[in-house]
A and B are shown apart, each in its own frame.
Chain A
Amino acid sequence: MLDNLNQDVSILQPSLQMTDSQVQNRIRQMKMEDPDEQTCYQKFCNLFTIEYYREYFDVTTELVIAKVVNAFNPFSGTFFDIGGGIPELYGPFWILNTLIFTIALSVNIIKYMQLKPGEHFEYQFEIVPFLAIFMYLKTLIVPMIYRVALKCVSQDRLTLLHCFTIYGYSAVVMIPISLLNSIPNPAIQWMLLVYVLFAQTSFLTSNFNQELKYLPKEKKYMIVGLVAVVQITIMILYKFYFFSSFNYQQLGLVKKRTNTHILQHILGAN
């Protein structure tokens, strides 16, 4: 088809006839847009354009809201039926950022409530970068674990991006719970945490179950068990790192900025 380009055009009118260089330019342009003809280098460079990622943000407001509402329901198992089960990254990313904000907010509220009267309120901001890094790593690594596990039981319908999507949306339960966690009663805090654990795990397993219905029982339980164990680990980390009633300095998590001490330590070690 590309070879006949000049002949086809010249049939129409003499004024539309392209010169040789114009034909070559047009052929090169068409080759660049044709994915099969692209070189390996060009395909790699596509990774850095915005258009490459646009297909993962192809959502409407109603779709996102429907998915969020579905994520609050731990038993429905219909998450992948909404919107045709197309994986997307908008929801997970912004739910993650909202979650970081609400956890930082509630950690500060907890600290404020623990103030004795007359004490000056010391806000806690060092927690924010640590929290952000922890959340981003968690959201990157855990879906990969799920995808590897699904691959082990040779389930190929759910790709890595599907795992990212469902894991991101499962975190939405944590948002109101972390706000409620600022209530000072420890019994309520533990109950809320158990509820989150239960809700997230059953949401994930009931959705994976739809895809895993046709597998033998042992493999199903393996996947369910893996999901539960990962969630329990993360909940324990939440409780003892972020929502504990300890003084954060005692935990050794944050130290006061003591540049001079670090310098003396370095100089002293030499």
Chain B
Amino acid sequence: MDYTNQKNPQNYSQMEDLKTLDLEESVSETIMRDLKMIAYKLKYVLIPKEQEDNGKELRNWDLWGPLIFCLALAMTLSFKADSTTNSSKSDVFAIIFVLIWVGAFVVTLNAQLLGGKVSFFQSVCLLGYCVFPINIEAIIIAFIGSYLPFVVKLIPVIICFAWSAYSSVGFMASLVPPHKKKLAVYPVFLFYLFLSWFSLIV
């Protein structure tokens, strides 16, 4: 253990070493540390330049990040749904929640069936983290979308969809043998397309 870097861990494994001091620290410190872990992984997944070790960092998967982004997206989209439309708030929330988790499950299952040898939760974790750009786009559209014409609304949708798809495609394509790459990538593309379209419509 490198005690000199105790307060400012340089990488994730040093953060792991700090866990032995859990019981003595305040609640806010624990929560901030978890949030920093999520932020670190988010930067790792979404900004391709940070990936120097070909995705080995993803072995430390966690499902907190995906859960937070899924809940945030579902709440943002159901916030706009009110009783004058056909879908009530709880309908939209339920559809988004189920869609994200079942969709991630099905896409991962597909990659495994095509011969990929990745751990199941690693891939679900990655797909969950890549939902973050769709979250950004949903927030933009929810708050200022009613003042913009449809064509202007399309621009952030397309950018964020391309960003999500591009981040997750690199990982998914590396799981399967080369002649099946497009087959594993297409469901990911369809998954994010459906989510983007959903956040555009609402």
Contacts and interface: CB of A to CB of B under 8 A. Distances in A.
A224 interface: no
Interface of chain B, helix or strand or loop or mixed? helix
Contacts of B88: 257
Given A97-B190, A108-B201, A122 B179 contact: no
Interface of B: 84-88, 90-92, 95, 109-110, 112-115, 179-183, 186-187, 190, 193-194, 197, 201-202
Given A61-B183, A64-B183, A94-B186, A50 B87 contact: no
Contacts of B187: 94, 97
A30 to B, nearest CB: 24
Interface string A58-99: 011110100000000000000000000000001000100110
Interface of A: 50, 53-54, 57, 59-62, 64, 90, 94, 97-98, 101, 105, 108, 120, 122-126, 128-129, 248-249, 254, 256-257
Nearest to B201: A123
B186 A123 contact: no
A50 B113 contact: yes
B115 A54 contact: yes
Contacts of A53: 113
A254 B113 contact: no
> 10 closest A-B pairs (Cβ-Cβ)?
A60-B179, A57-B113, A257-B88, A61-B182, A123-B201, A125-B87, A122-B85, A57-B114, A61-B183, A122-B86
B194 A123 contact: no
B95 A94 contact: no
A256 B92 CA distance: 13
A91 to B, nearest CB: 9
A59 B180 contact: yes
Nearest to A55: B113
